[in-house]
C-alpha cells in the first residue's frame, strides 16, 4: 500500500472515530491493516459494541474492491468516507447486508477471467453525493448505529 493510501485510510478512520465520539460512542481503534474491523464503537454502558470497517477515498469516491469471497466478511457495519482529505468529508454508514445486496461482480467481458477469478466490488454510485443511486439514508447517518447512551 502506498503511503498516500495509508494516509487517506488513517484520515478516514480518525474522522470516523471523531464523529462517533461526538455522538457519544467510546471508540477503540484496531491495529491498522489487520483483517476485519478498523475500529469498535462502544456504548456508554458497554452493552453495545459495533465493529466497523472504514473505507476512505481521498477525493471523489472510487469503486471499493471486495475481493473474490465477500461472503467471508463479518464486520456488520461499514463507513465509506468520501472526500476524506477535504475540510468536509461525507460519510455513509452502511450495514454489511446493504453492502452484500448492492455489490457487483466483474462481468469478465474485458478481463476475460473465468467466473471464479472475477472480483466483487461495491460501486461508488451508492456513496457519491448527488448520484442517482446515492444511499441518502446512510449519509452521515450515525444514528443508524443506535443510541450510544
Q: How much is the mean pLDDT over the chain?
A: 94
The C-alpha cell 448505529 sits at 145
The verdict on domain 3-145 having CATH code 3.40.1350.10 is yes
Tell me the three-class secondary structure of the chain, residue by residue: CCHHHHHHHHHHHHHHHHHHHHCCCEEEECCCCCCCCCEEEECCCCCCEEEEEEEECCCCCCCEEEECCHHHCCCCEEEEEECCCCCCCEEEEEEHHHHHHHCEECCCCCCCCCHHHCCEEECHHHHCCCCCCCCHHHECCHHHHCCCC
Q: What is the pTM of this model?
A: 0.93
Give the pLDDT confidence score for residue 1 in this predicted structure: 53
Per residue in 74-93, pLDDT (tens digit) is 999 999 999 999 999 999 99
Per residue in 36-45, pLDDT (tens digit) is 899 999 999 9
Q: Are 72 and 96 in contact (CB under 8 A)?
A: no
Range scoring the smallest mean pLDDT among 24-38, 61-75, 83-97, 126-140: 24-38
Ordered by start, the domain boundaries in the chain are 3-145
Amino acid at each position: 500500500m502506498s503511503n498516500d493510501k495509508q494516509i487517506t485510510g488513517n484520515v478516514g478512520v480518525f474522522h470516523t472515530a471523531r464523529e462517533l465520539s461526538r455522538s457519544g460512542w467510546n471508540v477503540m481503534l484496531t491495529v491498522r491493516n489487520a483483517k476485519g474491523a478498523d475500529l469498535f464503537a462502544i456504548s456508554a454502558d458497554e452493552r453495545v459494541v459495533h465493529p466497523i470497517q472504514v473505507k476512505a477515498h481521498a477525493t471523489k469516491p472510487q469503486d471499493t474492491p471486495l475481493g473474490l469471497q465477500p461472503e467471508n466478511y463479518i464486520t456488520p457495519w461499514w463507513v465509506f468516507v468520501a472526500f476524506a482529505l477535504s475540510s468536509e468529508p461525507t460519510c455513509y454508514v452502511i450495514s454489511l447486508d446493504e453492502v452484500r445486496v448492492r455489490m457487483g461482480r466483474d462481468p469478465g467481458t474485458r478481463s476475460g477471467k473465468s467466473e471464479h477469478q472475477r472480483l466483487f466490488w461495491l460501486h461508488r454510485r451508492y456513496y457519491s453525493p448527488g448520484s442517482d443511486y446515492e444511499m441518502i439514508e446512510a449519509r452521515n447517518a450515525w444514528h443508524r448505529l443506535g443510541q450510544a447512551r
